[in-house]
Amino acid sequence: MSPLLRQSLNEEVSALDNLVELLRGPNGCPWDAKQTFQTVRLYLLEESYEVVDAIDSGDKEGICSELGDLLFQIFFLASIAEEKGDFNISDVVRGIREKMVRRHPHVFSDTKVEGADQVVKNWNKIKKTEHKTKDEKQYAIFAGLPAAYPALAKADKILSKAEDANFSYDMPDNIKKVLAPFADIKTEESEYFENEMGKLIFAIAALCKSRKVSAEDILRKTNAKFMNEVCREISIEKQEE
C-alpha cells in the first residue's frame, strides 16, 4: 500500500469512527442512540448475507457497497461497547491483527508447512488452544462455533471438526436408502450433483413448511444432538485410556 493510500485509509477510518460517535451522541440520531448489541445483531447478520449475495452475483460495485454496510455495523457495535467501557474499535483491530499473526506461524515465525492443507491443520490446532473454557474436556472440539450460526452452515463446520477428532458421522440406514441415488453420482458430474442436492434440500424445507415446522430449527436441534454425541464418545474414550 502506498503512503498516500495509507494516509487516505487512516483518514477514512477515523472519519467513520467519528460519524458513529456523532450518530449515537446527544445531538445525533434518536434511533441510533437507543440501539444495543441485541437489536443490532439482526442487522449484522443481514449485512453479512448481503455481502455473500453480492459476491455470488459478481457485482464488484455491490461487493464494495455491502462491505461498507458490514464495516459500519462493526464500528457501530464497537461504539456501543466503548460506551459501556468494555472495549473499543482499536481493541477489535489489534485483536484480529494479533490473532492472524498467531495463526500464521509459517509466515511470522520459523514453522514450516507443505501446502494449504497443512496450513489449515495448524490453524485448527492453534485455534483450539485459544478457546480454553470450563467445558474444555468435553467441548473444546467445537470451540469457536457461534451459537447463532445458520444451522446448515453450522452442520458443515460441526462435521469438519468431528472429522478432525477422528469421529465419523454414522448415517442411519433409512436415510442411506433415500440418499443412495445421490451417493452414486460420479465425481465428474459435480454440477449435476449440486443441482440434485439443491432440489433435495429445498424439498426438505418445503416439506417442513407444509408441516408448519422450521427446517432451520429442526437442523439446529439435530446439530446439538450430534455435538453431544461426539462429546460423549470422546469422554468415554478418555475414561478408557
d(CA 190, CA 80): 46
In this predicted model, which residue has the larger pLDDT, 72 or 133? 72
Report pLDDT digits (tens) over 35-65: 999 889 878 888 998 999 999 999 999 999 9
Residue 1 confidence (pLDDT): 83
Q: Confirm or reject CATH 1.10.287.1080 for domain 3-87, answering yes or no.
A: yes
Q: What is the pLDDT of residue 90?
A: 95
Q: Cell digits for 49?
A: 448475507
Q: Phi/psi zone of residue 58: left (φ > 0), alpha (ψ -120 to 50 degrees), beta?
A: left
Q: Among positive and negative, which fits the CA dihedral 134, 125, 91, 148?
A: negative
Domain spans of the chain?
A: 3-87, 135-240
Which pTM was predicted? 0.61
> Rounded to whole angstroms, what are the CA distances from 150 to 2, 32, 35, 93, 129?
39, 26, 23, 25, 25
In the chain, % of residues over pLDDT 70: 93
Q: Which DSSP category does 130 fall into? A: H
The grid coordinates listed for 177 are: 436408502
Residue 167: what are its φ and ψ, rounded to 5°?
Answer: -110, 120
The Cβ of residue 227 has, within 10 Å, a number of other Cβ atoms equal to: 19
Residue 45 in grid coordinates: 447478520
pLDDT reported for residue 132: 55
In the prediction, which pLDDT does 188 show?
A: 85
pLDDT digits (tens, 9 = 90+) for 75-97: 999 999 999 999 999 999 999 99
